[in-house]
Structure formats: C-alpha cells, structure tokens
Amino acid sequence: MRKLLTSIFLFVLNFTVYGIQDNWPDYIDSEERELIDFLFSDYNGDQPGASVMVIKDQQIAWKHSYGLANINEDLSATEYTNYRIASVTKQFTAFAVLMLIHEGKLDYETTLNQIFPEFPDYGSTINIHHLLCHRSGLVHYGQFIQEGREEQILDPEILKGLLSTDSTKFEPGSKYSYSNTGYAVLAMVVEKVSGMSFPDFMEKKIFDPLGMKDAMVYEKDQYIKNRAYGYIVTDSSITLKDQNLSSAVMGDGGIYCSVEDYFKWDQALYTDKLIPYKMYEEAFYAQEAQGRTSEAGYGYGWKIAYRDSLKILYHGGSSVGFGSFVYRIPEENLSVVIFTNRSRTGYGISDGAKALASIFSNYKLKMPIEVVMRREIEKNGVEAALKLYQEQKNSTDYHSSKEALFYLGVGYLNGDKYAIATSLFEQLIEEYPAYYGGYYGLGYTYKSEGRTDEAIANFKKVTELDSKDIKRIIEVSQQEIEKLSN
C-alpha cells in the first residue's frame, strides 16, 4: 500500500503552506503525511481551523491543529480549543440516559406519558428505546419556529410544542428516522428524572468524573473557555456565524468539547468507570424496534457500520459554523477525532477520518478509494481521477463502492463544483445503471445550474427504479419533479 501511495503522490508539498507535522510516529511515511496534509489543507493558515487526534492503544498516537479558532483575535486552534461538536453530542446524551437506567430510575420501556403525564395520548406509544435509536416518529422541532422569530428555541420549548401536537409522523417503533427532536426530549427526560439541569448533570456525572475540564453544555451568554467561533466559508468570504435559531438546543447538539477532553471520554468507553461496560455496549449495536441487531444501523447515540471485517462506530455533527466527526474501531483500539469551526461542505473531515483510520490500522481498514480520487482531482483533474478509479476499483488495496463514488460527487456538488460533480455522477450511471445515486446526483446538479428539464429527467429516472430500499429517495425525487414542473 505504501508503495502504491508513493506512485500516486510523486510530488513534494510545500510545508510552509500545509503546516509542519512534528509529532508523526516514525512508522508513518512521508507520502501518508502528505495525503493527510492535503485532506486538511482547507483548514490551514489564516482561516477557520480544525483539531485532529488519533488515539491508538490507550495513547494519543498523533494530534495536530490547523488554522484559527478565532479569526478576529488571530488565535490559533489547539488541542485545547473548545468546539461545538453538534450531533456528536448525542452519544453523551444517550450515555446520560443509560446512567439513569443503571440507577433504576428509568428503563428502556418507560414511555413519555410515564415521565410527562401531561403528554398527549400518543406519548404512551413512545418509549426510551424509541427515542435513543431514532424510532419515535416525533415531528421535527423546526415546525415550532415561527417565521420572523429572533430568539433561539430551547429544549423546554420543544417539549412544550410536542404537548400541543396530536400525532407522530409514523407509528413509533415501525421504522428508523433520524430525529433531533427525540434527543432534545431526552435532555428533558434527564432533567425530569434526575432533578438536575441537563448542563449540571453532564458536568457532575460525566465531565468532572472523567477529568474533562473544559467540556460543557452550551447555554446562552455563558462563558466558554478556549472557545472556537464558527464561520461560514465560501470561495470569496469568511463570515462569523456560529449561532442560529436552533443552535442552543442542548440534547441533540449543544456540547462544546476539545479533542484533549474527548480523549478522556473515548478511553472511558472501554471501561466500567461510569456504568458497567456490558450495559453501555448496547449503544454500540444497531437497534431495531425489538432490540439490538448485528447489522449496520443506529445504536444509542452512535452509527454502526462493518467494513473489512471490522466493526466501526462513528458519528458526524454539523451545526452553523461547525463540523465534527468521530470514527472508532474498538477491535483495533483506534479512534479518530476531528473538530472544526467551519460549516461542513459534504466532504473533507469524514475523508480525513477514514484515511487516518486506514493508515493507523496499518491498512486493516482499507484506504477508501474516494480519498485518493479527491487528491487526484485537485492535482490532475477529474478525468485523471476517473482513470485512477478504473485502474484501482478492484484492487485489494482500496475499499471501493458505488456509494463511495456517489458521496464523492455529492461533496463536489455541495462545494458548487458542478462540472466535477457531473462527471462523477455520469460515471456512476455508466457503471451502475440500476443504482439511484447517479440520477439523483445529476438531478440536483442540474437543478443547481438551472437546467430544469435535465434535472426533471434525472429525477424521473430515480422514480422508475424498482427498489423498496429507496422509498424515501423516490418520494423526494417526486417532490422535486413537482416543484421544478411548476
């Protein structure tokens, strides 16, 4: 693999541009370092930054920070910088609930009506298990934010909004549907059952016992030590923007944390320090309506995948001005943690996490082919990258899939690089004509370019596919056809 990387990356990066890495382990070679520097190059210099940490065998194997935590004050990002970690918060919220279950104050079958007697009748069909694994069917709390509103919505108001709602989106337990609302409600469950505020519970029960000195739950106007400020970055501007109407919700995404503090949390997840490990291990399995499964899916605050015979626990987070990604491979005692203070653009930090996981597992987890394709696109253009893909897609050195090509295209679409996205989606259609990804991607690419007829044609292709697995994708495509046809 290292020889193959050498053949792909024959250039030498200018380290005054990409940053000097002075703490790489000796077994990480220069080509691998250059690849990682490329993947994080958007965060370097006088722009919003990123803090990155690799944890291996209970030790910090590598850490580095790029760019600035506060542009106005020219403060560099460090391993102690406190970032809003957005939906990575969910693993902490889930753990708080499991602690209460361990204490006998809750169980998985406890319903919302039992906790909040004032809850509408449908609350008797939603239990803690449903909330933890996104099977509650609760409506999105965005509908409680009225047009023209200026004050941020908070978790108690979300609960209040649900009290005036008379139904769910679907029968609780019947299917999975990612729900920020559910995790906001879980924060209120923690408050009601523990008798403590959610920030106090997290501080006293989790952060302080683990020595996470600076981690905290965000509350309006509260001082945040070593705070990173969030930014929106475009090709022409960098704008300070780390708050919006929903960014003060606690349970679904309100924690600030540094990579240094996260290291302490990560290590606790291998132990019985706060609750018995066997109990928390439930969080590391995909959960269905009746309990855990060994398939990929969503656990309690974690997403679960299987690749190259390894189980992967991961979760991303995206909030205005911030992006985060955590990637754990317990069998390898390996974790990658990336926190940033710029809004995610659809690729970058997840690629960086996967590449680092591959390198630091000595390629037991194969290098994702989309990672090296991104590098080839930036170096030699999309045609060269597609040639590389054809040459290496069946190689044992890379992990390759139709989904990889799709998400690579989505990344360039989200970055407004439509010509590149188009080439990637067209290649996807050529190789996988029965897969929705190429048509769906082209539909949105053409829509963004104002090519309405071509967008409609591709969305129609999606609706013609015979697959129950993409029911939601077909519904969205039909909605797009209707909007574009008017």
Q: 238 is written with which tokens? A: 């960098």
Half-sphere exposure of 44 (CA within 13 A, CB side): 15
Task: Indicate whether 379 belongs to any domain.
Answer: no
Q: Is the pLDDT of residue 12 over 50?
A: no
- Convert the pLDDT of each residue in 105-156 to its tens digit: 999 999 999 999 999 999 999 999 999 999 999 999 999 999 999 999 999 9
Q: Is the pLDDT of residue 198 over 90?
A: yes
| DSSP symbols for 5-53 | HHHH--S---HHHH-------TTS-HHHHHHHHHHTGGG-SSSB-EEEE
Task: Indicate whether 377 belongs to any domain.
Answer: no
Q: What is the pLDDT of residue 345?
A: 54
Q: What is the pLDDT of residue 343?
A: 84
Select the more confidently predicted residue: 101 or 467: 101
Least confident piece of the model among 301-315, 336-350, 431-445:
336-350
Q: Is the pLDDT of residue 461 over 90?
A: yes
Band (4; pLDDT cuts 50, 70, 90): very low
What is the C-alpha radius of gyration for the chain, rounded to an integer number of angstroms? 23
Least confident piece of the model among 117-126, 294-303, 393-402:
393-402
Task: Indicate whether 386 belongs to any domain.
Answer: no
Amino acid at 97: V
Q: Is the pLDDT of residue 67 over 60?
A: yes
Q: Is the pLDDT of residue 462 over 90?
A: yes
Mean pLDDT calculated for residue range 362-371: 95
Average predicted confidence (pLDDT) for the chain: 92
- Convert the pLDDT of each residue in 416-438 to its tens digit: 899 999 999 999 999 999 999 99
Q: 153 is written with which tokens? A: 């919505």
Q: Is the pLDDT of residue 218 over 60?
A: yes
**Which runs of consecutive H residues, i.e. helices, occur in 151-251?**
155-163, 180-194, 198-202, 208-210
Band (6; pLDDT cuts 50, 70, 90): very low
Instruction: Give dist(CA 396, CA 234) in Å, integer.
Output: 37
Band (289; pLDDT cuts 50, 70, 90): confident
H or E stretch at 392: helix 382-392
Task: Indicate whether 192 belongs to any domain.
Answer: yes
Percentage of residues of the chain with pLDDT beyond 90: 85
Q: Would you say 204 and 196 are in contact if contact means Cβ atoms under 8 Å apart?
A: yes
What range does the domain containing 106 cover?
Answer: 46-365
Q: Would you say 112 and 126 are in contact if contact means Cβ atoms under 8 Å apart?
A: yes
Task: Indicate whether 317 belongs to any domain.
Answer: yes
Task: Indicate whether 89 belongs to any domain.
Answer: yes
Q: Is the pLDDT of residue 5 over 60?
A: no
Mean pLDDT calculated for residue range 323-344: 95
Band (234; pLDDT cuts 50, 70, 90): confident
Q: How many domains does the chain have?
A: 1
Q: What is the pLDDT of residue 22?
A: 55
Instruction: Give dist(CA 242, CA 339) in Å, integer.
Output: 14
Q: Is the pLDDT of residue 370 over 90?
A: yes
Q: Is the pLDDT of residue 357 over 90?
A: yes
Task: Indicate whether 34 belongs to any domain.
Answer: no
CATH number reported for the structural domain that contains residue 171 in this entry: 3.40.710.10
Task: Indicate whether 463 belongs to any domain.
Answer: no
Band (46; pLDDT cuts 50, 70, 90): very high
Q: Would you say 150 and 191 are in contact if contact means Cβ atoms under 8 Å apart?
A: no
Q: What is the pLDDT of residue 347?
A: 54
Instruction: Give dist(CA 423, CA 415) in Å, integer.
Output: 15
- Convert the pLDDT of each residue in 260-281 to its tens digit: 999 999 999 999 999 999 998 9
Select the more confidently predicted residue: 247 or 346: 247
* 385: CB partners within 8 A, 6+ apart: 373, 374, 376, 377
Amino acid at 343: S
| Residue 347: Cβ within 10 Å count | 22
Q: What is the pLDDT of residue 14?
A: 36
Mean pLDDT calculated for residue range 167-181: 95
- DSSP letter at 217 equals E
b vs e for 282-321, b when ≥16 Cβ sit within 10 Å of the residue's Cβ? bbbbbbbeeebeeeebbbbbbbbeebeebbbbbbbbbbbb
Q: What is the pLDDT of residue 344?
A: 65
Q: What is the pLDDT of residue 469?
A: 76
Instruction: Give dist(CA 326, CA 91) in Å, integer.
Output: 11
Least confident piece of the model among 13-27, 31-45, 263-277, 293-307:
13-27
Mean pLDDT calculated for residue range 456-466: 94
Band (220; pLDDT cuts 50, 70, 90): confident
Q: Model-level pTM greater than 0.85?
A: yes
Q: Is the pLDDT of residue 466 over 80?
A: no
Q: What is the pLDDT of residue 43?
A: 93
